Chains A and B, each alone.
Chain A
Amino acid sequence: MLETEAGDRMSIASGSQVGRKNGYSQVPSKEVATMSRNMKLRWARAISLVIAGSLLMAGPAAAQEKAQWLPLLCYRTGPYAPGGSGICGGMEDYFDLINLKGGIDGVKLKWEECETAYSPPRGVECYERTKSEQGGCCVYHPISTGITYALMERASADKIPLTSIGYGRADAQAGGDIFPYVFPLVTTYWSQVTGKIGYIAQKEGGLDKLKGKKIALLYIDVAYGQETIPVLKALADKFGFELGLFPVPAPGLEQSAQWLDIKRRFKADWVINRNWGISCTVPLKEAARVGFPRDHIIGVWWCGSEEDVVPAGPAAKDYITTNFHGVGQNFPVIQEILENIYMKGKGNLPVTRVGTVYYNRGVIHGIITVEALRTAYKKFGPVPINGEQMKWALEHLNIDENRIKELGAEGFMPPLKTSPTDHEGGGWVRFQQWDGSKWVGISDWIPPMKELVQAEVKKSAAEYAAKKGQK
């Protein structure tokens, strides 16, 4: 019954003012009303400063210059901190770079982190706290599957887009009425897995050579691990390879039985490593033990960071993973960040992390956010941008080759073109190999098998709508 009005900063500090404001606005004499309201406001503000000290976030009026407010959900603590800190650090460094260059069409970016520790309740709290702060904002990157799912309903009701870049529900790329505010941008797990099969086919000498091959899916046995199974089954039917499923019980520290199975009984030609966190590293050691060639193991991108392979030592050499952005510092955009930020003694993270997988994943988050804002400004004029306008912008993103070159991101990111019914915008992936000390890109951008993915997306989205009772 008492929705916080967007733009009403004070209502965050103390909801009581909203109620009182409504009450007093019925008093006939306007001056008296404003005077007493101001008094009350001052009192309420003083009290909330003293007692909570903290619920009052906004401080003095923030209207000095035009600024785009961006609340960020980050996790620098907890078990997945290496990923969270890298992504947030990279994204914020890119925002810094944009500000140093004068902002987006003169609008500076302003952001603040809210620590989620990768936990859904903390994420929900952060979202609710920040969504109407400073006039509210327009897009959230949860960087966590759990938080994405916990926010989907809310964000759709609030009309605020959520992105899930490289994670989350693959079927949300259908957009439309079923997933209006969810954007699994750049690529999804399903597109990725078709890319993987495409890559294997390249190595084997063509799609027709897949027939009779044996591909093992080694996956951590939780929802995330199982997500690609329907698409892989469809692929196996289509191309005639044999698919072996090897679940690893979470947390997946013990995988020797699966590897004996893969090597001795199933005799796999290729293994897809779909683990998560600490369980990503285990297969590399096990493969070394049973003598399975590492360059025939293809990891998901969440198993493809420096943090995943370094602990395996020499056993990780030649291991291949997918990725949806470049690695290393040899991109103009990363060089610019190094030059303008880190050389000046600033920067979000230790300089050694710049160019690592998670850092660059943050930079691609930054690029997409900034380009989406730019698109929104072009259509609606600069700030403030609300969620619906941002949705429009995310549905009309067009980052083509030329634009990528202008951004200094050639080879860093694939082209991206979205539409109201395509919330993914490309689905290209590339492959990288660990040479023992760093990741090296080993392929061009490989497109997904759109038709096959679309069929699965349609099926799954319809099922989702039906389960939810949406007709």
Chain B
Amino acid sequence: MFYRETGVFKTTYARDMELFPIPLDKIGFTVGLVLAFLIIPLFASHYLLVGIFIPFLVFSLAALGLNILTGFAGQLSLGHAGFMAVGAYATVIMYNRYDVPLPVALLGAGVITSAVGSIFGLPSLRIKGFYLAVSTLAAQLIIEWVITHVKWISGGVYSTVDIKALEFMGWKIDTAAEKYYVALVIVVIMAVFAKNLVRSRIGRAWMSIRDMDVASEIIGISQFRYKVLAFAVSSFYAGVAGGLVVAVYYGSANIEEFHLMLSFEILGMVIIGGMGSVLGSFLGAGFITLLPIFIDLSISSITHNVVDLSKVFTPDLLANAKNMIFGAFIIFFLAVEPLGLARLWHTIKDYLRLWPFPY
């Protein structure tokens, strides 16, 4: 009744092309932005900001990057943690050693990563699907090896470089809320950019490659240009996400944070969130990063307020039970909606369009 297209008249081209044609969506998005920009930083505790919201934003950005590549252009990558590592070290090297201003360092990290990503994207012209996954796996391993072995990058045997105090034009970014703002602004800009990019000519070219590469080549879409472009854009996002990990999340670049498991986790975010959906990247990142924390908190809340579970189960069983619950959730959601959480959201929207008068 409220969520509908009826009564929305597209009188100009601009209105025809707007991101959210349905009024309620527009309101929802605005409310979301107000919440993210004003309410959360004002009222969220330090823990919520640094433990929940900042990692959520950072990993959403990484998932968004992979979603552009895998969900839109149909190219699988298992090297995204490696690309994040490139961005992380690039940021810290530029910012620490060359006194590059923070936004430029983050942007530069994105550009450098996107160059590296394009090189590793070249094999995608010849190999597809699982075989491409294996070749990007090589990217992950090569990047890890290079970073741990080139001392100029890793700064000594520990492969750990702490970033110096954050500052931009006299503004000292040291509280959790300020760091949250840095992450938020970058993520919002890049998410809106991605949303527009995938609706553009480039996005359509990517989707045609994803859906059938032979057909898209026949209608004149350059496979070389668009596949490499997909790798470039995707690793740009990964690079900035890696830079944010260093700048606002951990405070240090350390190769152990970007191991292969993280690549799988990012892929998991994309699959659970929904391939080919900007919103899905956020939902997936929320699912993978926040659900284990939520399960953990729920169990300790039960222990504190209802019944002391640690007296009933051994600690080992209790710790593993959390993983089992998490696993059960993944299976549940994928069984209910194999196309991901974003698809679930679409189903709800379709339902709402007809509510309360379905045919």
Q: Tell me the A residues contacting B by CB distance below 8 Å.
A: 1-4, 11-12, 14-16, 18-19, 49, 52-59, 74-77, 81, 85, 88-89, 92, 112-115, 117, 119-122, 124-125, 128-129, 132, 145-146, 149-150, 152-154, 169, 221-223, 226-227, 229-230, 249, 348-349, 460, 463-464, 467-470
Chain A neighbourhood of B298, CB < 8 A: 53-54
CA distance A470 to B165 in the complex (A): 9
| A469→B105 CA distance, assembly (Å) | 16
Chain B residues with Cβ below 8 Å from A230 are: 157
Q: A89 and B55: CB pair below 8 A?
A: no
A81–B160 alpha-carbon span in the complex (Å): 24
Known A-B contacts A1-B177, A227-B157; A468 and B96 likewise in contact (beta carbons under 8 Å): yes
Residues of B within 8 A of A154 (CB): 50, 251
Mask: chain B, 148-172; 1 = CB below 8 Å from A; 0 = not: 1000001111111111100000000
Complex: how many Å from CA A153 to CA B154? Answer: 17
Judging by beta carbons under 8 Å apart, are B164 and A15 in contact?
A: no
Query: Do B148 and A14 touch (CB < 8 A)?
Result: no
Residues on A with C-beta less than 8 A from B261 are: 119
A164 to chain B, nearest CB (A): 12
Interface of chain B, main secondary structure: helix
Establish whether residues B175 and A128, one from each chain, have CB atoms under 8 Å apart when the complex forms: no
Given the complex of chains A and B, what is the CA–CA distance between A49 and B156 in angstroms? 48
Q: Does B297 contact A (CB under 8 A)?
A: yes
Are A121 and B289 in contact (CB-based, < 8 A)?
Answer: yes
- Interface residue from B52, B156, B163, B257 paired with A460 (Cβ < 8 Å): B156
Per the bound structure, the CA–CA distance linking A55 and B292 in Å amounts to: 13
Beta-carbon contact of B252 and A149 below 8 Å: yes
Q: Are B315 and A3 in contact (CB under 8 A)?
A: no
Q: Within residues 291 to 339 of chain B, which ones have a CB less than 8 A from any CB in chain A?
A: 292-294, 296-301, 304-305, 314-316, 319-320, 322-323
A59 close to B305 (CB less than 8 A): yes
A348 to B313, CA, bound (A): 10
Nearest CB on B from A44, distance (A)? 10
* B256 on interface, CB distance cutoff 8 Å: yes
The yes or no answer to B26 lying at the interface (CB within 8 A) is no
- Of the A-B pairs whose beta carbons lie under 8 Å apart in the complex, a sample of 8, sorted by A's number, is A1-B177, A12-B45, A49-B305, A59-B305, A124-B249, A124-B250, A221-B145, A223-B157
Contact indicator A150/B47 (Cβ below 8 Å): no
Q: Indicate if the CB atoms of B50 and A150 lie closer than 8 Å.
A: no
- Residues of A near B177 (CB, < 8 A) are 1-2
Q: Are B294 and A4 in contact (CB under 8 A)?
A: no
| Residue of B with least CB distance to A130 | B47
Other-chain residue from B50, B300, B314, B315 in contact with A54 (beta carbon distance below 8 A): B300
B320 to nearest A CB, angstroms?
5
If A76-B319, A85-B319 are given as contacts, then 6 extra A-B residue pairs at C-beta distance below 8 Å, sorted by A number, are: A2-B176, A120-B256, A125-B293, A128-B51, A463-B156, A464-B156
